[in-house]
Amino acid sequence: MSKKILVISTDFGTERDELVVPVDKLKGLGHDVTVATPNGEPVQTVLSDKDWDLEFPVDGKLSGYTSTDFDVIVLPGGTVNSDNARLDTEILDQLKKQAGAGRTVAAICHAPWALIDAGLAPNKNLTSYTSVRIDLENAGATWHDVPVQICNTDEWTLITSRNPGDLDPFIEAIDQA
């Protein structure tokens, strides 16, 4: 069954494979995938958080996709991207609307930081990049060191993964959500 998926990123510092691989593979599986940034600018990706890589095109500004009719919202990681995303009220509002509508959110690597600032981390079982663990636990989440964690508490589904090495199970969980 085809899903409507919204990938939300900021325009800088997104780990390339955590954006490009899910977008390409989810489209290849027949899903309708939209990529948006708050300002509508392309995403400057990075490799290992430090080396600039390709500029990834987006479909438009996040404000053009503010309805809650997406089956899944995907948040790619990258330290700079994730740190900026957690401060962006438009991204946080979209996450709150998605969870409030009982729909799925998927976040990889550092991206679960945004869940803290959106108030969505408490009572969730999740995983992330190791350095984010203490932040998530302090916010009331239970952290697990597994390739993919699926949590259905609080009437919405959260799918999380640790790093680019976990992309295959992460994408599979999104496909099956």
Number of domains in the chain: 1
Domain that holds residue 60: 4-176
pLDDT at position 176, please?
A: 96
pLDDT of residue 67: 66
Average pLDDT over residues 139-143: 98
C-alpha–C-alpha distance, residues 17 and 103, integer Å: 24
For the packed helices 167-176 and 16-28, what is the interaxial angle rounded to 10 degrees? 40
List the structure tokens of 135: 């932040």
Quote the pTM value: 0.97
- pLDDT of the residue at 68: 61
**What CATH number corresponds to the domain at position 163?**
3.40.50.880
pLDDT above 90 covers what percent of the chain?
A: 97
Give the residue numbers annotated as catalytic, written as ranges: 109-110
DSSP sequence for 98-124: HHHTT-EEEEETTTTHHHHHTT--TT-
> Which of 34-38, 48-52, 121-125, 145-149 is predicted least confidently?
48-52
pLDDT of 1 over the 90 cut: no
